[in-house]
Structure 1
Amino acid sequence: MSTAYSGRFAGRRAVITGGASGLGLAVATRIVAEGGNVVLWDMNPDALATAKDQSGATHVVALDVSDQAAVEQAAADSRDALGGGIDILIASAGITGATAPVHEFPLDSWRRVIDVNVNGLFYCNRAIVPVMLEGGYGRIVNVASVAGKEGNPNASAYSASKAAVIGLTKSLGKELAGKGVIANALTPATFESPILAQLPQSQVDYMRSKIPMGRLGEVSESAAMVCFMASEECSFTTASVFDTSGGRTTY
């Protein structure tokens, strides 16, 4: 379904978190096909090795984004691997957490979701924005979710974390406006990806039922949107949110 745009990312250098599978891998493959160089970050070293071969990535880093020191080191290593700069950050690493009502939600799961989805994404933005400012150019895509707009029952940690991603991105985009660095968020509805394996089928069915198109999204559909957001074509929209929700969200 995807269509590569020849040379759209020629000379551009990207870091993609959660890059070993799903949306991160799909975006990496497109950016490389369109002329860019990519470094993949992910927790799974075995999957990273496979993803590097599949996508044509320049370099990979195995790390947990909730480890701030590891993120700082990865940013420095990635900058070097990419020839001294980073033009694009796709922050797509995330976890779903437990499926349970708020009053029964496991505390360890709550903390882990916030650590990865909010703190980890913040660490990645914090580490890479100065590199972009030095180069006078940057595109940041923080992957949130429609759950951050609407909330999903029995998914309070995930919903809260993705609402935080939206708020952080809006703040960051306003801070960077006029400095050559653009920051936007993506809010997809549920699409086919490995993260669904973390959820019971009943939760997946609930999310599908809320999509007016009556189906889950395809990873290629969100990847296409991300690639626009990460390109020079996205030049006058920042601190904003792009939906790929099959009609679920309209604001």
Structure 2
Amino acid sequence: MATEQAVTLTLAALVVAAVACREVRRSRAERVARDGLFDAVVWMLTDAHVSTGGGRHPVLTGSHDGHPVRAEVVVDSLTLRKLPLLWLVVTVSRPVTVDATVDVLTRPNGTEVFSRNACLAHRLPTPDDFPVPARIAASRAVGLPGPALAALGELASDDRVKEVEAGPAGVRVVYRLAEADQTRYRAGRRVDFGMPTLTPLTLAALLTGLDTLASACATNPTREYIR
């Protein structure tokens, strides 16, 4: 009997050790995936620096065309959502010729914890020809140059773009970078984004779109946005 108990305890210890080793390997792999998120695009920014931000996800800072850039990620794991999402937030700090903060939130569903859209005091009407269902809001009633509205729509037309914002201090875009693995999330509520990587093509497109938006805000209005 004692021998059987010893064998049982030994087997149990081996199982526990195997599970622990597997979890250590998984944790290490997830850390490598997080840390390498910006590896492919660091060269695109001047004086680029990668640090660790909230949730131990990396934050990329540097400058592009002389303007400070910050790229970070936000994990959206609200239970109301089918699968958790990993959002990329790219902010370019530069003077922008707008009298208020203007924010475009595409396909709003009320769970956008990362968005400031609902906090802005003025809801602006969405034009009939805007390329995507969106809620447009501003910190106060403003007139918006036609080119700026077109630039907002161009950025928002990408189905991975969730939010675009322009304000006196800069411009910002929120982009869907990854979705959690469905099988692992359904089975054990484990949020696994795999090994998402920001590609040079994606970052270049977002930076170009933000630069176009900032420049368009400085143009003379061809038509004013309805106040």
TM-score (norm 2): 0.32
Greater RCO between the two (CA within 8 Å, min separation 6)?
A: 2
Larger radius of gyration: 2
- Which protein has the bigger helix share? 1
- Which protein has the bigger strand share? 2
